[in-house]
Amino acid sequence: MATLSVNVDHVATVRQARLAKEPDPVTAALMAELAGADGITIHLREDRRHIQDRDLSILRKTAKTRLNLEMAATPEMLGIALEVKPDMVTIVPEKRAELTTEGGLDVTTKVEAAKLKEFVTSLKEAGIPVNLFIDPALEAVKASHRIAADGVEIHTGTYADADINADNGERRCGEFKRVHEAALLAHKLKLKVHAGHGLDYSNIKAVAAIPEITEFAIGYSIVSRAIYVGIEAAVTEMKRLIG
């Protein structure tokens, strides 16, 4: 069964809306672990719109499972990662104006691939495993392998956004096929295969049935559900669907 890493960014989003002390993403992360989460994911953005340096520092000391730090490939973030040493790093693209991550990294152009390879090498030399957040494209998987990443996180946002009732579900099926083929190739190349973005309680089951995917990073839908039913129930239900 694939594992579940719970992203608590949007607990911090609510906190930062009032620049208050609550709700605390650190507390939410610990409650998620008690409910069965296999890991915790946080994205320390350059503009600090939700997760703060304080959150990362405390979670590094208190998380009982695996702490996955999502971050952009910048000198500032490299320094933070090398100091904090999370259990793993997922490199993601970042735009200041975006509401949420809009797609995978540019890993196929020579210039960007060279920058990422240098960045990945620095993290791996410090003993930190590195995943690259990529679109479900075969060339992106191959490029990630050439960059020498430990694994990939396949962007499932386009699959999740496809209307299952439109055009007889052809677009949703096509996007699922892309995710599946990317997972198969990544597994064949001996990359760790994770997936995430846009996954919720209504669309997770099909993707969770792809055996090559070993972990899902899910945040927004779990935090949203937790508002109604609490973190324990929200995490437990997502774990059940993944299983």
Segment 150-207, tens digit of pLDDT: 999 999 999 999 977 777 778 999 999 999 999 999 999 999 999 999 999 999 999 9
pTM (predicted TM-score): 0.94
The pLDDT value given to residue 80: 98
Nearest to 208 by CA among 159, 142, 140: 159
The pLDDT value given to residue 166: 78
CA 199 – CA 212 distance, rounded (Å): 17
Instruction: List Cα–Cα distances, 159 to 31, 172, 227, in angstroms.
Output: 29, 6, 25
| pLDDT above 60 (res 84) | yes
Nearest to 176 by CA among 193, 190, 189, 195: 195
Averaged confidence pLDDT in the chain: 95
Q: What structural domains does the chain harbor?
A: 3-242 (3.20.20.70)
| pLDDT above 60 (res 138) | yes
Rg for the chain (alpha carbons), in Å?
17
Residue 81 pLDDT level (bands cut at 50, 70, 90): very high
| pLDDT above 60 (res 98) | no
The pLDDT value given to residue 97: 65
Instruction: List Cα–Cα distances, 64 to 57, 126, 158, 198, in angstroms.
Output: 14, 21, 32, 26
Residues with a catalytic annotation lie at: 43, 70, 197
The pLDDT value given to residue 87: 98
The pLDDT value given to residue 89: 98
CA 199 – CA 216 distance, rounded (Å): 9
User: Are the beta carbons of 93 and 104 closer than 8 angstroms?
Assistant: yes
